Structure 1
Amino acid sequence: MIKSRAFLIGEFLLLFILLPLSLTAPMAIWIKVALVLLGFGYLLMVLRKFENLKFRIHKNLNRASFFKRIAITFTTIIILTILFVRYKDPSALFYVPLNNPLLFVTILLFYSLLSVWPQEIIYRTFFFERYVSLFQSKFTLVVVNAVVFSLAHLFFKNILVIILTLIGGILFGLTYIKYKSTTLVSIEHALYGNWLFTVGMGEMLAFPGMENSTTM
C-alpha cells in the first residue's frame, strides 16, 4: 500500500472531508449508505492488512488512571446536562427511561454496538495510526481529529450536535493518544453518548427515533 505523504493527504481529504460532506447532499439514501459502506470497508482493509493493529487492552495499561479520568469527566457532564435539560425542557428530563424502558434499552444497545464501535475504529484507531505523520504535534492531531469528527455529524443539521461532537472528539482523541486502546475509547464514547439519551437530550439532538419520545 502506498503511504507517501501525498497519498495520505489525498486519502484523508476523500474519507474525512469529501465523504462526510457528500452525506449532506440531496441524494438517494441507498447511495449514501453505499458510500459509507465502501469507505468503512476500505478502512477495515487498511487496518487489517497494512497497519497491523490490535484492538485489545494492553496488559500494562494503567486502568485506574483511565477510570479516574472518566469518573471526573462524566460527573461534570452529568451535572451540566441535567442543568441544561431542566432549563431547556424540564418535561424531557429522564423521560424515555422512565416512560419507555424498552425503547431506552434498545437505543443503548444499538447505539453502543452499531454506532460507537465503528465510529471509534474510523475516527480514532484508523485516523491516529494512519495520519500521525501528517501533523507536527499531538495537539494539532487531536484538534483536526475533533473537527473532522464533528464534520461527520453535519447531516444532522443541528448546531448542538456539532458543538457536542467537537467537544467529544477532543476528549476521545486525548483518550486514544494516552491509552492507545479502541476498547477504552469506545467505552468512554458509549458512556457519554448513552447518557445524553438517558438525561433527555435525544430529541434536542435530533437523534433518529427520538422525535416523538415525549408523546409515547
Structure 2
Amino acid sequence: MKTVNYKLIELFFLFVLIPISFTINYLPILKLSIGVLGFVYVLYVLFKVEKIQFKIRKDIHWKDFWRTTFLKFLVIAIVTTLFVWFTDNDSFFNVVLHKPIKWLLILFFYAAFSVYPQELLYRTFYFKRYKNLFKNERLFIFINAILFSLAHLFFKNSIVIAITFIGGLLFAITYNKTKSTFLVSIEHALYGCWLFTVGMGSMLGFPT
C-alpha cells in the first residue's frame, strides 16, 4: 500500500504538478533546472529501480508496424493539410520551401533530442512504473494521453492540447502493443516532423 501511495504521489508530481508549474511565469533557468532534475530522476528509476534494459527487440513485426503507421499517417496528413490550407495558408509548407536547410536541421534535432526523451518519460517510464496501479487498460491509456497533452499546456493553445491528446492516444496504443520505445519514437518523430513540414511548426513550438 505504501508503494502504491508513493507511486501515485510520484505520478502527480512528475506528470501533473511540474507541467502545470511551467505555465506560471517564473525564471526560465529555474524551469530548466526542474525539468532536468525530473528527467534525471526518471532515468535513475528506470535503470536502478525498474532495472530496464534499452535494446531493440528482435521480434518486432516491422510490416505490421509500418502498415498501421502509414495508414494513421495518411489520415493525419490529409486532415492537417486541409487544416493549414484553410486556416493559415501563408504557412503552408513555408519552411521546407523557403528554408530547406533549417527545415532539415530542425527535423534532425527534434527527432534525436526531443522525441526520444518524451517517449522514455511518457511511455517507457509511465507504462513500467504505473501499469499495476490501474485495473482498466483503456483507462490507463486514456490517462496517459491526458498527461501527455498536459505536458503541452504551457503553449496555452487549445488546438495544441487536442493534437497532443490524440497523439498521446496513438503513441500509448502503439507502445502498449509493441512494448518498444524505439518503434513509438519512430511514429512520434514521423507525425511531429510532418506537422512542422506542413506548416504547423510555430503552433507547436518549432522555431520558424
Give the TM-score range, shorter chain.
over 0.9
Q: Is the CA contact 1:120–1:185 (under 8 Å) kept in the aligned structure 2?
A: yes
Cα separation, partners in 2 of 1:3 and 1:37, compared to 1, 3 Å: farther
The answer on 1:124 being equivalent to 2:123 is yes
Q: Aligned partners of 1:160, 1:107: CA distance in 2, in Å?
A: 22
> Which residue number corresponds to residue 207 of structure 1?
205
Q: Aligned partners of 2:105, 2:120: CA distance in 1, in Å?
A: 22
Q: Aligned partners of 2:207, 2:61: CA distance in 1, in Å?
A: 38
The answer on 1:151 being equivalent to 2:150 is yes
> Which residue number corresponds to residue 58 of structure 1?
57
> Which residue number corresponds to residue 113 of structure 2?
114
> Which residue number corresponds to residue 41 of structure 1?
40
Q: Aligned partners of 2:89, 2:171: CA distance in 1, in Å?
A: 29
* Matched AA of 2:25: P
- Structure 1: state its 5+ residue gaps: 211-216
Q: RMSD between aligned alpha carbons?
A: 1.3
> Which residue number corresponds to residue 133 of structure 1?
132
Q: Is the CA contact 2:141–2:172 (under 8 Å) kept in the aligned structure 1?
A: yes
C-alpha offsets along residues 116-162 of structure 1, whole Å, 9 cap, x if unaligned? 01100000000011000111121011100000000000111111110
* Matched AA of 1:178: K
| CA deviation after TM superposition for structure 1 residue 208, in Å | 4.2
Q: Aligned partners of 2:120, 2:78: CA distance in 1, in Å?
A: 29
Q: Which runs of 4+ in 1 moved over 4 A?
A: none
3-state secondary structure, aligned to 1:200: helix
Q: Is the CA contact 2:155–2:204 (under 8 Å) kept in the aligned structure 1?
A: yes
Percent identity reads 46
> Which residue number corresponds to residue 187 of structure 1?
186
The answer on 1:23 being equivalent to 2:30 is no
C-alpha offsets along residues 44-68 of structure 1, whole Å, 9 cap, x if unaligned? 0000111122232321221111111
- Of Structure 1 and Structure 2, the greater helix share is in 2
Q: Is the CA contact 2:196–2:206 (under 8 Å) kept in the aligned structure 1?
A: no
Q: Aligned partners of 2:29, 2:94: CA distance in 1, in Å?
A: 33
> Which residue number corresponds to residue 89 of structure 1?
88
If the length of structure 2 is used for normalisation, what is the TM-score? 0.96
3-state secondary structure, aligned to 2:200: coil
Q: Is the CA contact 2:149–2:161 (under 8 Å) kept in the aligned structure 1?
A: yes
Q: Aligned partners of 1:76, 1:3: CA distance in 2, in Å?
A: 45
If the length of structure 1 is used for normalisation, what is the TM-score? 0.93
